[in-house]
Structure 1
Amino acid sequence: MSRDTPAPTKVAVIGSGNIGTDLMIKVLRLSESLEIAAMAGIDPGSDGLARARRLGVATTHGGVEGLVAMDEFTDVGIVFDATSAGAHHRHDQVLRPLGRTLVDLTPAALGPFVVPPVNGTDHLDAPNVNMVTCGGQATIPVVAAIGAVTPVHYGEIVASIASRSAGPGTRANIDEFTETTARAVERVGGAARGKAIIILNPAEPPLIMRDTVHCLVSACATEDITASVEEMADRVRTYVPGYRLKQRVQFEPVAPDDPLRGLLPPGATGPALRVSVFLEVEGAAHYLPAYAGNLDIMTSAALRTAERLAAHRTAQGEPR
């Protein structure tokens, strides 16, 4: 490391399951500005903690209390929480007073929503940022891309993931998933109204993540929407290489007697369009199988967000 290169920001991961382990490996393999200092879990026999030890990462099975007690915690600036929405509330209570920045990969949504290509630089001073959900990370960029061209009166996303890629934490958080994602479709994506649906696909062999975005808009130049969506997909691919459009953006006129017109603003009488975008997300297979694109996009978004937070800390002259 040259004299002019800042030292990496030290980070810790809470949660030794699939998401936390994949995130740890991404930090180790991909990041030049972050250094993994510790992993905390609650299962001493978990594969994540065992793998961390083999990779030379300090570990504890004492949860957040064990993490705080570790010598390595002293230098940690950013903590990733890859546990559950319920557990995150307690982790925030413990870590926020200690001055650590939390990157929350659960649907707890205590801090502002962050989707890197949409509002990735808007909340760099927040003590806790929330990565929404896998479905949100995949689809909200598309809603925002459409909204950059014309107001989105209604945005609906459907995330279909392999049942095998949905562990106990994901299943326990299904209700929070739909509620959090729908709110973020509105707050970050810009839709006037949002709705989110998740499907656990039991197909064998497992299918990779598929997402559908439906947006209701007033009639406008369809080629501008297509260009905006394609440009956004390119931006997401800079940190999620397996993110892609399955086909060109689809447009369907909404007939005068279509019930969808009930979702238009009061008094709207002009032509309207339903815009449909079909996505596929293939994982990078750093730790998780390639079909688990839903988990890969979460950890990739969290990594990108933490790197921006670290750069901001350095620019502000804060301890790394």
Structure 2
Amino acid sequence: MPSVSTILIPLFGCIAVGVASGAWRLFGWSEARVLSRFVFLVAMPITVLSFTRKAEVPNLAYAGLVGGYLLATMLSAGAAFLLSRKLLGLTVQEAGAAVFATTCGNAVFLGLPIALAVGSWAPPFLMLMICEGLFVFALGTSLMTWPAPGAAPPRGGVLGTSLGAAWRAGRNPIVLAFLIGLSLDVLGFEWPEPVGRFLDLFGGVAGPAGLFVLGLMLALLPGRQSELNPRALAALLPVKLAVYPGLCGGFVWLFTRDPVLTQTALLFTALPPAVASIVQSAHYRRYEAGTAALVGSGTLIGLATVTLLLLVLL
């Protein structure tokens, strides 16, 4: 495994360039949105294809990884929902945005570059990204679109809303790239050398670009936070950054006894809240300011806690 400094110095260097670019107003929020779409829709899928052509096919232990992750996610989402409703007084729809921010981590911009740097963490990390894309997005969307008291139920009911959200999440370009690459790997497909070189060359853009966007948004987020509720941060961030990874790591170790899968589960669930939480809350107009505060403060604290986690694991 590479050393912590080998991973973190380039990682934090890219983030620092993004922070400086935002602080000096070289780029604004609209440019950050465009750059994030480039990373999410183009660069990261090509990176995933490049990786899967060299990776081993997942083994049966991944069933324990997925089971431990889903169990920890359900418990953590339940805790976040109850805290949001009982302690913070949010509606069901607002609590859905809080649950989404608490259970969806910054896997694309922060987690995947770390997992790819370690190597052995990347295949299970990508598997967890698929689970998150299907389950967490479906759960969050279902809650955020929950009918208000007295309102007509959504078309297809709650089940229809959940299945529709899962279907949209399943078309995530990164998820599709992983499934395509994995299928070709299972079939024994040999990539032509020029194609492989293209994938490696273009895929190398994704990590630095994603980390740059993360730093840029970190610099711009404070200006978009109209409220900073210390009570919400104190209630939800410990669930995201401590309880959730503790549960997931414990369940995965219990089910698999595999140190690599356990380490990957810890990293994946310990990541700070994803910027996608802001996009989702804004789209459904649910708890927008509170979500921005969770992501902004959670990213700062999460960078520190992920660093400590890597120091322990590596």
Relative to the length of structure 2, the TM-score reads 0.29
Larger Rg: 1
Relative to the length of structure 1, the TM-score reads 0.29
Asked which structure has the greater RCO (Cα within 8 Å, sep 6+), the reply is 2
